[in-house]
Amino acid sequence: MKLLSTKATCNSHGQDSSYFLGWQEYEKNPYDEVMNPEGIIQMGLAENQLSFDLIESWLDKNPDVPGFKSNGKSIFRELALFQDYHGLPSFKKELVDFMAEIRGNKVTFDPNHIVLTAGSTPANETLMFCLAEKGEAFLLPTPYYPGFDRDLKWRTGVEIVPIQCTSSNNFQITEPALQQAYQDAKKRNLRVKGVLVTNPSNPLGTTMSRSELNLLIDFIKDKNMHLISDEIYSGTVYSSPGFVSVMEILKERNDLKDCDVPVGDRVHVVYSLSKDLGLPGFRVGAIYSENEVVVGAATKMSSFGLVSSQTQYLLSAMLGDKKFTKNYISENQKRLKRRQRMLVSGLQKAGISCLKTNNAGLFCWVDMSHLLHSNTFEAEMDLWKKILYEVRLNISPGASCHCTEPGWFRMCFANMSEDTLNLAMKRLKAFVAAESNDNACSKRTSRRKSLSNWVFRLSSRDHREQEER
Amino acid sequence: MVLGGKSQQLLSKIATNDKHGENSPYFDGWKAYDRNPFHPTNNPQGVIQMGLAENQLCFDLIEEWIRNNPKASICTPEGLHQFRNIANFQDYHGLQEFRNAMANFMSKVRGGRVRFDPERILMSGGATGANELIMFCLADPGDAFMIPTPFYPGFVRDLCWRTGMQLIPVHSDSSNNFKITREALEAAYKKAKEDNINVKGLIITNPSNPLGTTLDKDTLKSLVSFTNEKNIHLVCDEIYAATVFSSPNYVSVAEVIQEVEHCKRELIHVIYSLSKDMGFPGFRVGIVYSFNDEVVNCGRKMSSFGLVSSQTQHMLASMLSDENFVTRFLKENSRRLEKRHDKFMKGLEEVNITRFPSNAGLFCWMNLKSLLKEPTFEDELKLWRVIIHEVKLNVSPGSSFNCSEPGWFRVCFANMDDETVDIALNRIRAFVGRETKKPLGMKRWQPNLSLSFSSRMFDETAVMSPHSPIPTSPLVRAT
């Protein structure tokens, strides 16, 4: 008899993928300015480390909060006991206000419709448990966040069917691609329960256009399925066209109630403070849905991963300070923009371009296809290994994001200092230069080789042709 | 939104069935409490919450420690310099210092008789998350775990809801003091096999909820040998380990396996949490400790679904590695629990209410069989409704714990102050006094109650979750 469960012994956790292997190599040899200047620079981790000082300064000015005090009275006991899965009311209110603020207050959220979870990882898994049976499927546009293979599929048994997007239109979702994905699922005998998108996109670092969002709404309306919009990067949009949430589209359209189940009941948003506020350690995630049955079921499921009450309390105070949030959102975006520009220009100097529609996120989607020795994923893997072991940069290969075209890589820029980023760009430039020298050499070698072959062939024929060449 | 068939179809079975178990009477009593919560001055006639196993006796010790250790917080001026590192830390291995401190604490709770390896400590979202996680690692949908009755009602949700696992109750009753016998285990196992059910293991809670007792070494050894022999897992939920207040001393499964020859350690797993021992259910600190390397490996990846907040890890790493504090806390915690237990027992004895003799836990297992008209579960529930609505105490009926005999009730005593205990005991005295004065032929009580269960099935707003029993908490009242 099998000792452990199938889940424990399979590898659907996806952690054998290169996305995670790169981290392992980094752990063995991590860059440190002083202690290990030759080490691997971590560019595979989408963390926002640019704005901690803003939070630290807020904490400095608000000493009551860490002391578990409210109006001078100790509330430690109440916090220590508070395990209500409905969440701290004050925190939920401040969280939804924060979410609305990020969306320019063009939409509002009802705190009774939000479910708190320990990060967006369980939020996404919980939605799968609520919306799909084992063996059913969700459609996801490629490229997508590698962690989804674990979060959406592992313990739920739900399948992912890709919506293939290509560089020809900057990886935007098209109607034919949606329909094709739907057909692919059918061929695999998979019942599709919905579509899941990340907006802004990871790994593309772009916001979804209004037409894409409307396309998705049309699609799920027609097919009577769900749409999950993972908006955990919503606060990281730093340049135009600006962020449009699916909730805005829902508000604008007036044709969404004339179906069996109103579309509004089939759209669910996932959020987290890990990227926007740079607090992944605090495990703060949320599911937002107008569908009360989903909210009810997800709330019960949140028992398996509630947000620590001390963290809820801290954040409700912080997010309740509207002066702080206003300043934070705008300053954070400025810093991200500046840092992205640094990466883009550094890449340009190395003759590398990235997705020109990049306007959000903590990373760039970089095109290194011209550096591949062949237009294959094997070549991409070879290049990735070179970059990891020779250039000593851990970046994420497109294949790990299920990209259909080889040569694309995700490079993160917000989890290091400016100096480190400059160093990374220097290393990359040197590598590319060396590579092109090598290529030139090998081209010369191969020209010489083919010349001598030709000469060899000619030697038995006419010498004059060779001189002309 | 109309809750019609079409809407239901769009959701999964898990989302729409009631295997979350929240329609059980265990959670129902909280509704009555929530509608009319007791408060000494604002609502002295309200319902006293005695259905929530919380430990509120030692907060003063912890508050004092926090005041004296501002560095343990990443938000104080003393601790602020660590803020960014901690806020950024999402590694599912957990902070090393947190795991070291937990391993140390767990060992101290067991009198230093066993050492725990920090590398085997996995985090999860409270014991709730820990129990679900271990099942995901050990069982496939349809597989089964044996579980002695009576057991914590939340197990139905925690172990079975999303995992698709099933529970096989192994019944015990008061005739042999609810002991888990080898015969009962063998019989249950045999029957499962005959029914073609794949039994993957046995799960026990030690100290027991709701009995409030610890298992003796011999019984533990026999459980280890039984599961070893059948090559199935043994999961021991030890979340009440530090609530042992009188003899016999606590024996953990981790201790026992050191003494069992040729023990198959890879079959042994411990579940732990700080919710009961320290009274921190809000901080969501659950631990899975497995002696099986593969489970540790896989479980660690799964812990991504419910990591402990790094802010909390950091604070606890500091608190639990303070040896002096821990020693003092554990001693004082036991002393206060014993005092509270003794006070409550004395009160019950005065009105001839017997209870199951206990040496641990935050509750007692009360025997109210004499107040049942008929020894049926129907009458048990009727009595329970009277206790809630007339006596105004929320207690938990034995049937919600899957107890095989009617008339038992679990009553919690560590989640209130001394004065409230007195009031609760007065109410019990008055009620029992009234009941025993009535002529025997006459019906003991007239249940005039319109409380019904079925209307709650789809009433989402009535969904209960463990609440802080302090009605005037500013947190619940927040804008």
Which one of B75, B128, B281 has the shortest CB-CB distance to A59?
Answer: B75
Question: By C-alpha distance, which of A202, A189, A50 is closest to A140?
Answer: A202
Please report, rounded to a whole number, the percentage of residues in chain A having pLDDT higher than 70.
91
pLDDT at A44 over 70: yes
User: B111 in helix, strand or coil?
Assistant: coil
CA distance A271 to A279: 13
Q: Which of B161, B305, B316 should we substitute to test contact with A (largest number of A Cβ atoms within 10 Å)?
A: B305
Chain B residue closest in CA terms to A415: B88
Q: How far is CA B445 from CA A252, A281, B449, in A?
A: 60, 55, 11
Instruction: Give, for all 479 residues of chain B, the pLDDT tens digit.
Output: 344 566 667 889 998 888 887 777 666 777 888 889 999 999 999 999 999 999 999 999 999 999 999 999 998 889 999 999 999 999 999 999 999 999 999 999 999 999 999 999 999 999 999 999 999 999 999 999 999 999 999 999 999 999 999 999 999 999 999 999 999 999 999 999 999 999 999 999 999 999 999 999 999 999 999 999 999 999 999 999 999 999 999 999 999 999 998 999 999 999 999 999 999 999 999 999 999 999 999 999 999 999 999 999 999 999 999 999 999 999 999 999 999 999 999 999 999 999 999 999 999 999 999 999 999 999 999 999 999 999 999 999 999 999 999 999 999 999 999 999 999 999 999 998 887 776 544 444 444 333 333 333 323 333 334 443 333 333 433 33
* C-alpha pair distances (Å), A317 with each of A324, B259, B342: 10, 52, 42
To test the contact with chain A by mutation, choose from B158, B307, B416, B457 the residue with the greatest count of A C-beta atoms within 10 A, namely B307
Interface of B with A in 25-64 (CB under 8 A): 54, 56, 59, 62-63
Cis peptide before B210 (omega within 30 of 0): yes
Active site residue B152: yes
B463 has a chain A CB within 8 A of its CB: yes
CA distance B340 to B362: 9
**Active-site annotation holder among B276, B287, B289, B387:** B276
How far is B437 from chain A, CA to nearest CA, in Å? 40
Catalytic option among A144, A145, A233, A271: A145
- Position B9 scores a pLDDT of 72
Which chain B residues contact residue A75 at CB under 8 A? 473-475
Give one DSSP letter per residue of A318-329, joined into a string.
HHH-HHHHHHHH
Q: Is the distance from CB of A132 to CB of A158 less than 8 angstroms?
A: yes
Distance from CA of A45 to the nearest CA of B (A): 11
A162-212 pLDDT, tens digit per residue, is 999 999 999 999 999 999 999 999 999 999 999 999 999 999 999 999 999
Q: Which residues of chain B lie closer than 8 angstroms to A193, CB-CB?
A: 10
Of B20, B281, B309, the CB nearest to A283: B309
Residue range A256-313, pLDDT digits in tens: 888 888 999 999 999 999 999 999 999 999 999 999 999 999 999 999 999 999 999 9
Amino acid A467: pLDDT: 31
- Asked if B6's CB is within 8 angstroms of A4's CB, the reply is no
Q: Which of A5, A15, A309 sits opposite B138 (nearest CB)?
A: A5
Query: According to the model, what pLDDT value does residue B32 have?
Result: 83
- Cβ B283–A310 below 8 Å, yes or no? yes
Q: B9 exposed, middle or buried (CB, 10 Å; 0-12, 13-18, 19+)?
A: exposed
Q: Which of B237, B287, B353, B388 is catalytic?
A: B237
d(CA A444, CA A449): 8
Which CATH superfamily does the domain covering B26-59+331-432 fall into? Aspartate Aminotransferase, domain 1 (3.90.1150.10)
Cβ within 8 Å, pair A79-B475:
yes
The per-type count for chain B, helices as H runs and strands as E runs, is: 16, 13
Residues of A in contact with B283 (CB under 8 A): 80, 308-310
**Distance in angstroms (rounded) separating the CA atoms of residues B253 and B109:** 13
- Among A90, A154, A266, the residue with its CB nearest the CB of B479 is A90
Please give the residue of chain B at the shortest CA–CA distance from A225: B10
Helix axes A309-320, A89-102, angle to 10 degrees: 50
Alpha-carbon torsion (B255, B256, B262, B267), positive or negative? negative
Structure tokens at B353: 């209410």
> Residue B102 is which amino acid?
M
3-class state of residue B116 by DSSP: coil
pLDDT of residue A258: 81
Q: How many CB pairs under 8 A join A and B?
A: 297
- Contact assignment for B10 to A226 by CB distance below 8 Å: yes
Q: Where are the alpha helices (DSSP H) in A265-376?
A: 292-301, 309-320, 322-349
- pLDDT for A466: 34
How far apart are the C-alpha atoms of A382 and A387, rounded to whole Å?
9
Task: Identify the three-state secondary structure at position B143.
Answer: coil
The CA angle B24-A122-A55, to the nearest 5 degrees, is 120
Segment A446-468 shows an average pLDDT of 46
- The pLDDT score that the predictor gives to residue B22 is 78
Strands (E), A98-222: 114-117, 137-141, 159-163, 192-198
Distance CA B7, CA B73 (A): 46
End-to-end CA distance of chain A: 74
Its ipTM equals 0.89
Q: Which positions in chain B touch A60 (Cβ < 8 Å)?
A: 77, 80
Sorting pLDDT into bands at 50, 70 and 90, what band is A64?
A: confident
Closest CA to A399 of A146, A188, A25, A168: A146
Q: Which residue has the tokens 């293939």?
A: A164
Domain B71-321, CATH among 3.40.50.720, 3.40.640.10, 3.40.50.300, 3.90.850.10: 3.40.640.10
B323-350 and B96-109 helices, crossing angle to 10°: 50
Question: Which of chain A's residues have a Cβ under 8 Å away from the Cβ of B239?
Answer: none
Q: How close A189 comes to chain B (CA, Å)?
A: 18
Pair type for strands B396-397 and B268-273: unpaired
Q: Provide the residue ranges of all domains of chain B, joining segments of one domain with +.
A: 26-59+331-432, 71-321
Torsion of CA B171, B172, B173, B175, to 10 degrees: 140
CB contact under 8 A, B284 and A224: no
CA angle B250, B256, B257 (to 5 degrees): 150
- Contact indicator for A336, A236 with CB cutoff of 8 Å: yes
In the residue annotation, B204 being an active-site residue is answered as no
- Whether A367 sits among the annotated catalytic residues: the reply is no
Query: Residue B201 has what DSSP assignment?
Result: E
Helix axes A322-349, A52-61, angle to 10 degrees: 160
pLDDT of residue A443: 64
Q: Which residue of A lies nearest to B80 if distances are taken between CA atoms?
A: A56
Task: Give me the torsion for CA of A181, A183, A189, A192, rounded to 10°.
Answer: 50
Half-sphere CA count of A117, side-chain side, radius 13 A: 30
* Partner A contacted by B293 (CB < 8 A): no
User: Residue A277 in contact with residue A55, Cβ under 8 Å?
Assistant: yes
pLDDT of residue B25: 64
| Structure tokens, A43 | 């560019």
For testing contact with chain B, the best of A270, A294, A304 (most B CBs within 10 A): A304
Q: Which of B121, B180, B239, B257 is catalytic?
A: B239
CB B299 within 8 A of CB B134: yes
- A398 pLDDT higher than 80: yes
CB-based burial of residue A168 (10 Å sphere; 0-12 exposed, 13-18 middle, 19+ buried)?
exposed
Between CA B417 and CA A81 the distance in angstroms is: 15
Phi-psi region of A457 (alpha: psi -120 to 50; beta: other; left: phi over 0): alpha
C-alpha dihedral sign at B100, A273, A144, B15: positive
Quick check: B368 and B447 in contact, CB under 8 A? Answer: no
The pLDDT value recorded for residue A12 is 62
Which is more confident, A407 or B451?
A: A407
Nearest to B11 among A84, A130, A282 (CB): A130
The string over A196-228, giving b where at least 16 C-beta atoms fall within 10 Å of a residue's C-beta and e elsewhere, is: bbbbbbbbbbbbbbeebbebbbbbbbebbbbbb
Query: For strand A226-230 and strand A192-198, is the pairing parallel, antiparallel, or unpaired?
Result: parallel
- Judged by CB atoms closer than 8 Å, whether chains meet at A5 and B88 is answered as no
Residue B5 is predicted with a pLDDT of 62
For A368-397, the pLDDT digits (tens) are 999 999 999 999 999 999 999 999 999 999
- Among B141, B143, B470, the residue with its CB nearest the CB of A78 is B470
* Alpha-carbon gap: B106 to the closest alpha carbon of chain A (Å): 20
Going from the C-alpha of B364 to that of each of B111, B236, B333, the distances in angstroms are 24, 21, 17
Whether B305 contacts chain A with CB within 8 A: yes
User: Which DSSP string corresponds to B167-193?
Assistant: EEEE---GGGTT---HHHHHHHHHHHH
Q: Which residues of B158-193 are buried (b: 16+ CB within 10 A; e: fewer)?
A: bbbbbbbbbbbebbbeeeeebebeeebbeebbeebe
What residue in A sits closest to B274 (Cα-Cα)? A80
The reply to whether B237 belongs to the active site is: yes
Chain B residue with the nearest C-alpha to that of A74: B63
Structure token pair of residue A91: 């925190």
Bridge-based pairing of strands A396-397 and A408-412 is antiparallel
